[in-house]
Amino acid sequence: MRIGNDRRGDEFEINVIPLIDVLLTLLMFFVLTSTFIQHSRMQVTLPQASTPDRDLDTQALTIMIDRDGRFYVGSDEVMGEGIEALKQTIARNAGDDRARPVTIRADAMTPNQNVVTAMDALGQLGFTRLSIATTPSKPGNGR
């Protein structure tokens, strides 16, 4: 007969390592399968026009120009200076589809030369369907 409590009961223990493995696997799955589209990370103040927006069925290639003159093709910033760096980035994003429509979204305060540079690069690459994005003018604005 035992009188003392010299035997410890079975200690209950939760093994968290398999739980961490499952959580990290799920985290990796969701990070790798999600898409990160950042079309609106750069705020551009568009010039105004009186024509309404039109919806295009084809996904247009977007070239954005900020007020400091930096170019963005899609969501990629153009690294380097000059028209050649811009042409390389456009060609990389557009592939071989030269019939694809292109929308130039330039800030209202950007110099006109930057818009002309973008149009020149697109023309040299063979793009012919160009449009410039604007915001609708307010009625009674007098413009």
Per-residue pLDDT tens digits for 63-100: 999 888 889 988 888 888 888 889 989 888 888 888 88
Q: Which structural domain, as residue segments, surrounds residue 53?
A: 43-134
Average pLDDT, integer, range 38-51? 62
pLDDT value for 58: 61
In a domain, 102, yes or no: yes
Mean pLDDT of 47-71: 74
- HEC assignment per residue over the chain: CCCCCCCCCCCCCCCCHHHHHHHHHHHHHHHHHCCCCCCCCCCCCCCEECCCCCCCCCCCEEEEECCCCCEEECCEECCCCCHHHHHHHHHHHHCCCCCCCEEEEECCCCCHHHHHHHHHHHHHHCCCCEEECCEECCCCCCC
Q: What are phi and psi of 118, to 5 degrees?
A: -65, -45
Higher pLDDT, 135 or 113: 113
In the chain, the number of structural domains is: 1
Check whether 24 has a pLDDT greater than 90. Answer: yes
Q: What is the CATH number of the domain that holds 70?
A: 3.30.420.270
Domain-embedded: residue 99:
yes
pLDDT tens digit string along 94-127?
888 888 889 999 888 888 898 899 999 999 999 8
Q: In which band, very low, low, confident or very high, does the pLDDT at 33 lie, cut at 50, 70 and 90?
A: confident
